[in-house]
């Protein structure tokens, strides 16, 4: 037997090509399943429904991934002559032991499913859990991750989530306090605020604005208040953008924004 025949014989061995073909077909089946699942759940949807279905899709994709991995492993073991039936039979005992050892994990998984099916929230929603408020960036088998506007991420075990406030299904009211120096006439400030309103109403996620008038006479400034009703999930970014517009408009009109001054007396 020459070298070429030896290589050909090795390649034709079931234990050589079998695992390779099993993994290849497993990957093909996985991609087909995921594409069909995506078309059934996501395609043609938009808005809140798309976010909800995307969360379900990610969860089901993870389940399918683990199932296919398990099936591929069992097929490869059978190719190498290992008794898969005895392994499956022993899984019954193992599952009982694991069920006792992993009670919290099972609770996390089940509660994660309830969170999705009962529409508690989905990835992309802004929620409030206890005193922490932020955007849901991940909803997994065991945990939910929430990121606030400062970038802090809170990781919560799904079993601990029994009550949350979903702010994405509400409207938020922002009360923008605008200080102006006393020497600036009220009419000039209000004209500038109206121009600011026009710009704010062009923002995506803003429903309406309302000028409420003078709200405070402070030691060194008059405070004007503007109410902005917007989408809750966008309120932090909208608020930051509003203050940027106010600064630009005040600079253009040369309206002073008062700041605290400290006088140092020499003597």
Query: The tokens of 18 are what?
Result: 């079998």
Task: Delimit the domains of the chain by residue range.
Answer: 3-83, 114-168, 170-253
Fold of 114-168: SH3 type barrels. (2.30.30)
pTM: 0.43
Q: What CA dihedral angle connects 33, 35, 38 and 40, to 10 degrees?
A: -70
**Residue 75 — φ and ψ, nearest 5°?**
-65, -45
Query: The tokens of 215 are what?
Result: 């709200």
| CA distance linking residue 87 with residue 104, whole number of Å | 25
**Per residue of the chain (267 residues), what is the pLDDT tens digit?**
565 565 556 556 666 677 788 888 888 888 888 888 888 777 666 665 666 677 777 777 877 888 888 888 888 888 777 776 666 666 665 555 555 545 666 777 777 777 776 667 777 788 888 888 888 888 777 788 889 888 889 998 888 887 888 777 667 788 999 888 888 888 898 999 999 999 998 888 888 889 999 988 888 889 999 999 888 767 888 899 999 999 988 888 888 777 655 555 554
**pLDDT computed for residue 95 by the predictor:** 59
Dihedral sign for Cα atoms in the order 96, 98, 100, 102: negative
Is 146 in contact with 132 (CB distance < 8 Å)? yes
**pLDDT computed for residue 25 by the predictor:** 86
Concatenated DSSP letters for 22-63? HHHHHHHHHHHHHHHHHHHHTTT--HHHHHHHHHHHHHHHHH
CATH architecture of 170-253: 2-Layer Sandwich (3.30)
């Amino acid at each position: 037997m020459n070298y070429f025949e030896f290589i050909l014989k090795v390649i034709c061995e079931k234990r050589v090509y079998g695992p390779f073909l099993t993994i290849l077909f497993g990957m093909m089946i996985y991609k087909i399943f995921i594409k069909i699942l995506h078309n059934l759940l996501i395609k043609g949807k938009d808005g809140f429904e798309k976010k909800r279905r995307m969360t379900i899709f990610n969860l089901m994709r993870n389940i399918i991934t683990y199932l296919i991995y398990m099936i591929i492993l069992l097929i490869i073991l059978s190719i190498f002559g290992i008794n898969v039936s005895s392994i499956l039979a022993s899984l019954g005992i193992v599952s009982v032991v694991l069920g006792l050892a992993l009670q919290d994990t099972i609770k996390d998984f089940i509660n994660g499913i309830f969170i999705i099916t009962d529409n508690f929230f989905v990835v992309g929603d802004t929620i409030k859990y206890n005193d922490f408020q932020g955007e849901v960036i991940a909803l997994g088998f065991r945990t939910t991750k929430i990121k606030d506007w400062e970038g802090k991420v809170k990781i919560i075990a799904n079993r601990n989530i029994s009550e949350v406030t979903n702010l994405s299904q509400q409207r938020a009211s922002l009360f923008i306090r605008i200080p102006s120096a006393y020497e600036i006439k009220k009419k000039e400030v209000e004209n500038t605020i109206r121009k600011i309103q026009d710009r704010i109403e062009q923002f995506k996620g803003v429903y309406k604005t309302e000028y409420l008038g003078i709200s405070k006479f402070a030691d060194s400034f008059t405070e004007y208040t503007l109410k902005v009703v917007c989408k809750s999930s966008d309120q932090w970014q909208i608020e930051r953008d509003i203050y940027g517009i106010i600064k630009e408009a005040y600079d253009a009109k040369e309206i002073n924004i008062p700041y605290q001054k400290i006088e140092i007396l020499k003597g």
